[in-house]
Each structure stands twice: as C-alpha cells, then as structure tokens.
Structure 1
Amino acid sequence: MEEKQDRRFTRRDVFTASAGAAAVLGAAGLPVLATATPALADTDHDRGRGLRVEPLIPARNRGIILYSVRDRISAAPDNSGVPYGFERVLARLAEIGYKEIEFAGYNQSTEILGRQITPKEIRKILDDNGLVANGTHTQINPATFEQQMDIAQELGMKNIGTGSDPTNTAYKADWDAAADTWNELGRRARARGLRLYTHNHDAAYSFLLDTGPLDANGKPTRSSGKRRLEYFFDKTDPRYVFFELDIFWAYVARYKHKTYTDRWGRQQTSLFDPILTVAPQPLRFPLFHAKDGNRNTAVPNGHDMVPFGEGDINFQQFFQTIGEQDFHHANWEQDTAPGGTTAPAQSLDFAALSYTNMSELTIYRRR
C-alpha cells in the first residue's frame, strides 16, 4: 500500500472522469475506480448489457456535519414547526436519508431538558435513528485530549478531529512543532481505536515561508513553493495523522493561492489541484466535506457557497478519480445554510436537497 501511495503523477494525467482518464490513472498504479465504462456497450447487439449502475458515494457513507444545521440544533422550543435540538433534528436527518453524523459541538438549548444533554443521551438518539457518528470538530489540545477521546468513544466515533489548522503560521518551524504534537496525539488516538484528523480552510494550502532573506525577527520572507498542509503531510506519520479535505475550501485555495516569491525574489506560479492532493494518498483522507460553490470572481474567495449539487464543483470527477469509495465518507456542509428567523427551515431544506443530489451521483460498472 505504501508503495502505491508514493507514486507521482501530474495534472495531465487527470483529464476527466472518463475511460481515458481511468486508463491513465490505472496504468500509473493509482487507486482509481474502474467506473468509466460507457453507458452503452460497443455494439448495438450488446447495448447496455453487462453494465450496472452504482452510487458513487455509497448510502452508508453519506453524512452531514451538524454545523450546517447548527441553528436548529441550538434552537429553543418554538412555534415554527421546524425540528429543534438533537432528538428532533437527528430524526429528521435520518428521515432524509443521512446515515452518518459529524459533530460540531455537543450542546443544545437547556430549555429542552431543563439542563444540558449528555453524550450518553446523544448516543441513544443516534442508535434509535440508525445513525453513526463518523467524526467531530473539537479542540485538539494535549491537556484535554483524553477527555475528548472519551466523548468520541461514547458516541461511537472512529475519527476525532478539528476544524482548525494544526498551526496558523506560515513558518516551517511552527509546522514542525505541530507535527511532533500531532504524531504523539495520533499515536494515543490509534491506541484507543481512533483516527486523528485535521480539516482545511484555504489558508492551509497557501505557501510556506521557508527560504530567502530573513526579516527583523529572523523569519524567512520567501517560499520554496511548498504548501503548508502538504508539508505537514510529509512531516506526520501516516499511521497516526489523517485529513478531512474540505472540497470547497480546496477549490478556493486553487483560486486564491497561485503565486509565491521564490528565494531569489522571482514570482512563480503553481496551480493547486485538490484531486492530485488526494489521489496519491487516498487512505490518509477518511473524511471529506462535500461542500459546493458557484464561481464568483467578484467575491474574495472566488466562490459562493450553495447546496450540494447546485454549484460548479465537479464532484463526479472528484470522487470517481480518487477512488476508494468504500473507505471515503462524505459529509455535506454549507456554512451559510441557516436562514435565520425569516427562514427557520432553510438549513434542513438545504440538507434534504443536498442529500438528494449526493445520492444521484452514479457510476457504471461491468457486471
């Protein structure tokens, strides 16, 4: 497995999620699905025979991070008729079809029970609705890590993570220190049957400052062209440290972080490719945020968030090319889903639309 993940290939290898691309990636020894069979067979006599259609994201691996419906998780009992709190919201998500839940906190309004809900009570709600917790965004802090792992195991998770970067600086020394900490925490997590993961925003895929003249504080001012989180990949142990690619923010990084100044002061261009980040090492990415966007160069991020399947990101190409569909878990997220008091049902409505669009991504396989 390690030998396969060390293979290198280029953007030229990824044309589309087509028969040609599958052949190229397969020849390179990469873990791509053999899913690019034409919808029709080669002859009229055999048209459509020998094929079957399968979901690109298996139903059991379709999830949601509760940050997308945080307005309804945190809502107090009201007269809107819209579900509120863990019990009602999780029941609605299960009714929609979601099978997995990624947590973004464990609190709800104390008006529901007259006190705060407990992890044990949340676990019962999950079990009663046939839901599985696949991860969490919590603080990864050595001082509280054992307590957070206790909660994760109470809820039945296999992954424990954070929505923050391991460090917020651009300097290699800080990423080295973070890697040391995460390797140790990841080792502790593995000993308890958990995988430790970090989630990216666009800044994680901006460039390190790791070369060139030093500033007044002795810090480097230029870049070798290495991106922060990609450096972290190499510094952390693949047995202990894993990643959740936020696909939307990865494409924002592609839009925003294109140029750097090299050690000689020359501006260089380097195009970030989210697919090529995952495909050589797919087993380091158990989780994804399936977050969609429309291109809009009038806004700083170059994209506006929209429900899954309503934007421009080519999820068909993405998930088909990276392969390993049984290992990868896709959690729908939309930061802007809550509609406020004027549209209290909006986040759950977007959750339903996004689930439908996710379930309609399909591939064709030979029987």
Structure 2
Amino acid sequence: MDDNKNRRFTRRDVFTASAGAAAVIGAAGLPVLATATPAFATDQRHGGGLRAEPLIPSRNRGIILYSVRDRIGAAPDNTGVPYGFERVLARLAEIGYKEIEFAGYTQNTAILGRQITPKEIRKILDDNGLVANGTHAQINPATFDQQMDIALQLGMKNIGTGSDPTSSAYKSDWDAAADTWNELGRRARSRGLRLYTHNHDIAYSFLLDSGPLDANGKPTRSSGVRRLEYFIDKTDPRLVFFEMDIFWAYVARFKHQTYVDRWGRQRTDLFDPILTVTPRSTRFPLFHAKDGDRNPAVPNGHDMVPLGDGDINFQQFFQTIGEQDFHHANWEQDTAPGGSTNPGQSLAFAASSYTNMSELTIYRR
C-alpha cells in the first residue's frame, strides 16, 4: 500500500516542492506561477540562462469527447461544422490534441446507415495520429470484461467511469466499494489496463462515521475524513487510480467546508485539491482540465467556462503536483455545446482551450 498514506501533507510541503521553480522564476524578476503567455523568450541571451518548457507536454494534451458530444452525435447537416467521429476527430487533431478520452462509442446512424464499430473508431484515431487515453464507461463486475475488450481494441491504457464508486456517506459502503474496485483493478491490471474513477464535488464531502446513531443504526456525525480520500487509502495503489476533475475539486473546496464532529461541534476544514494529489501523485494519471470563474451567487461557487477564461490556477496546480510526463490533461466543459443557435461553439471552445493549455509554461535552468 501507499507508504505516504498516513503522512499529513501541509502547505509548507507544497511550497517546498515548488521552491526550486519559484526561485528560478523569481530570480529572473518574473511573477511566480503566472498563468499568462511566457514573459520572456526561450533564447538564453534574453532569458538569463533560463529555458521555457511546456508544463503539459504536447503528447499529454487531450479532450474528453463529452465536451463536443453535440457534434459527435450530430446528423449530417449543412452547417459546415464537423459531425460524427471521423470529421470531429480530424478537427481535434488539427487543433493540436493528441489524446482522446471517450464518453460513449456511438454516433448518429444516418452517417453510415448503421452504428460505427470500435474497430472503425480505432482506424480514425490512427489515421489522425490520436491516442485513446481513457473512457467513461459503466464499471461493474458483470460487464467489465466486455468494457475492457473495447478499451483494448481502441488502444487505451486506462479504463474508467464518470461516477463515484458509491454515492453513500457511510464508511461501510466505501469499504465494500474498495473491495470491489481492488478486484476489478486486479482484473484490469492482468490485461494491461489501469482502472480509474472520476470525481464530482460530492466525493470530497465528509463521511458520516461517528457520533450518535440514527434510527437505522447509522452514524450521524463525522470525524472529518472526506469520502474519496478515505477510498484512496483503502484501495491498493497498484490497482486503483484516479482522474481528478479539477473544476469539481474546487467546487468541493467552496461547498464542503464544515462538518459536525462526534461531540456536536461544528468544525471547518478547507479542501485543497493540490494537497490531495501531491503526496500520491502517481495515483492520478488523468485529470479533467476544466475551468471555472468564481461566482458565489451560484450553488457551485463557480461558472463553468472554457479553459483559460476562468480563475482556477492551472499553472500552480500542474507545476506543484509535478510528474509532468506521467500526468495527462483532458479538457472538459460540460456546457460547451451551443445548440442549434451556435452549432460550432463546442469546437471553438475546444480550440481556445487547447491554445491556453499549450501556453502553460514551466521555467528551468
């Protein structure tokens, strides 16, 4: 199991982890963790011996197709906007994306007169120099082998789901989910795959695991442990992996700040996505690079926007967690489709988001 699981990771550790990069940037008179276009050229005559490198390597920049689901599922039309797997994937490759995370394997049957097959999708990927890096499929023991068959046919190294392992607030249910996922992870590993789960904000709310019991014998208060963090420590790090949705993690920071302890006292604990990833960075091969603009007037505390249009500090996030070659960033925006009034919106957002992702930069000597 993870040797670091019992170690408390603090903000001091975060600052120590990024101190080298901060010192290099600061010595050049540049703002630390800036998110804008690099402030100086890579030519060392002008950079004082520094060089600029992409924070997210180009080969690791991806997109989950849920962001452009309107165009994947569109019937042939006269809008001039790509539709279906063949045309949409070609456009995404043209934009610069190298990796694709799937959110289903179907398109409008009017395109081929029948449904497309995984084998045909794989050819489209190969023809465009694209790699499948994961999928949001239904993960359950009964159909897991069939899902792995499709994943391997598409060339994936990761197989996952967009749902939490359980929606329960109780430790016993998370214990049961951990047992199931350890077994499924073992089956995935035997076939060369990594099994992963993707979070929404509720996954980082607090377990009900202490205090008085209710009429059903369930605990009514919390020790302050968060659901998914408990699950991370209960699962085998060799078998179960995670895809952090960065937007929903920051929503969790906004929404899930307080709990009632076993003595009935209200406690405050701010969730920090960076501190969840950093001590176990290689448990997170994938991320959803989803941006949000702070808006305390809405229930989630943020409005979902194209990457680079919000105020989530992706520069700080990816620089601090390290392991740049290991981590893969998939752009997602649930609200990207523009409907019939703006059918090109999701692909336009895909283009601007890719540009902003590619401009995240790390400076080295």
TM class by shorter chain equals over 0.9
Alignment of 1:113 with 2:105, yes or no, is no
Equivalent pair of 2:2/2:233 in contact (CA under 8 Å)? no
What displacement does 1:26 show? 6.7
What displacement does 1:187 show? 0.4
Alignment of 1:8 with 2:8, yes or no, is yes
- Of 38, 41, 46 in structure 1, the residue corresponding to residue 25 of structure 2 is 38
Looking at structure 2, the residues matched to 218 and 7 of structure 1 have their Cα atoms a distance apart, in angstroms, of 32
Looking at structure 1, the residues matched to 332 and 91 of structure 2 have their Cα atoms a distance apart, in angstroms, of 16
Change in Cα spacing, 1:216 to 1:153, as seen in structure 2 (3 Å) is same
**Aligned twin of 1:136:** 135
Equivalent pair of 1:259/1:270 in contact (CA under 8 Å)? yes
Looking at structure 1, the residues matched to 86 and 275 of structure 2 have their Cα atoms a distance apart, in angstroms, of 40
Looking at structure 1, the residues matched to 143 and 3 of structure 2 have their Cα atoms a distance apart, in angstroms, of 36
**Aligned twin of 1:18:** none
What displacement does 1:347 show? 0.1
What are the residue-to-residue correspondences of 1:168-247 with 2, within 5 Å?
A: 168-247=167-246
**Aligned twin of 2:17:** 25
What displacement does 1:51 show? 1.5
What displacement does 1:50 show? 2.2
Q: 2:11 is matched by which residue type in structure 1?
A: R
What displacement does 1:37 show? 1.5
Q: 1:341 is matched by which residue type in structure 2?
A: S
Equivalent pair of 1:36/1:364 in contact (CA under 8 Å)? no
Looking at structure 1, the residues matched to 237 and 220 of structure 2 have their Cα atoms a distance apart, in angstroms, of 30
Change in Cα spacing, 1:36 to 1:165, as seen in structure 2 (3 Å) is farther
Q: Deviations over 1:250-297 (max 9, x none)?
A: 000000000000011110001100000000000000000000000001
Count of aligned residue pairs for this structure pair:
351
Equivalent pair of 2:5/2:233 in contact (CA under 8 Å)? no
Q: Deviations over 1:15-34 (max 9, x none)?
A: xxxxxx3xx2279xxxxx85
**Aligned twin of 1:305:** 304
Alignment of 1:342 with 2:334, yes or no, is no
Look up the SS of the partner of 1:237 in the other structure: coil
Q: 2:9 is matched by which residue type in structure 1?
A: F
Q: 2:81 is matched by which residue type in structure 1?
A: V
Looking at structure 1, the residues matched to 12 and 76 of structure 2 have their Cα atoms a distance apart, in angstroms, of 54
What displacement does 1:363 show? 1.0
Q: 1:297 is matched by which residue type in structure 2?
A: P
Alignment of 1:94 with 2:81, yes or no, is no
Worse-matched range after superposition: 70-79 or 47-56: 47-56
Q: TM-score, normalised by structure 2?
A: 0.93
Looking at structure 1, the residues matched to 5 and 265 of structure 2 have their Cα atoms a distance apart, in angstroms, of 32
List gaps (5 residues or longer) in structure 1.
15-20, 28-32
Alignment of 1:155 with 2:154, yes or no, is yes
Look up the SS of the partner of 1:244 in the other structure: strand
Equivalent pair of 2:18/2:320 in contact (CA under 8 Å)? no
- The share of aligned pairs that are identical, in percent, is 83
Equivalent pair of 1:36/1:363 in contact (CA under 8 Å)? no
Looking at structure 1, the residues matched to 248 and 23 of structure 2 have their Cα atoms a distance apart, in angstroms, of 27
Alignment of 1:292 with 2:291, yes or no, is yes
Equivalent pair of 2:18/2:319 in contact (CA under 8 Å)? no
**Aligned twin of 2:59:** 60
Equivalent pair of 2:2/2:237 in contact (CA under 8 Å)? no
Look up the SS of the partner of 2:24 in the other structure: coil
**Aligned twin of 1:17:** none
Looking at structure 2, the residues matched to 86 and 181 of structure 1 have their Cα atoms a distance apart, in angstroms, of 33
Alignment of 1:166 with 2:165, yes or no, is yes
Looking at structure 1, the residues matched to 200 and 242 of structure 2 have their Cα atoms a distance apart, in angstroms, of 12
Looking at structure 2, the residues matched to 353 and 26 of structure 1 have their Cα atoms a distance apart, in angstroms, of 28
**Moved beyond 6 Å, runs of 4+:** none
Equivalent pair of 1:212/1:262 in contact (CA under 8 Å)? yes
Q: 2:8 is matched by which residue type in structure 1?
A: R
Looking at structure 1, the residues matched to 354 and 18 of structure 2 have their Cα atoms a distance apart, in angstroms, of 30
Looking at structure 2, the residues matched to 183 and 328 of structure 1 have their Cα atoms a distance apart, in angstroms, of 22
**Aligned twin of 1:269:** 268
Looking at structure 2, the residues matched to 168 and 2 of structure 1 have their Cα atoms a distance apart, in angstroms, of 24
Equivalent pair of 1:35/1:363 in contact (CA under 8 Å)? no
Q: Deviations over 1:40-92 (max 9, x none)?
A: 659xx986232211000000000000000000000000111100000000000
Change in Cα spacing, 1:36 to 1:5, as seen in structure 2 (3 Å) is farther
Q: TM-score, normalised by structure 1?
A: 0.92
Change in Cα spacing, 1:214 to 1:346, as seen in structure 2 (3 Å) is same
Equivalent pair of 1:308/1:358 in contact (CA under 8 Å)? yes
List gaps (5 residues or longer) in structure 2.
30-43
Look up the SS of the partner of 1:213 in the other structure: strand
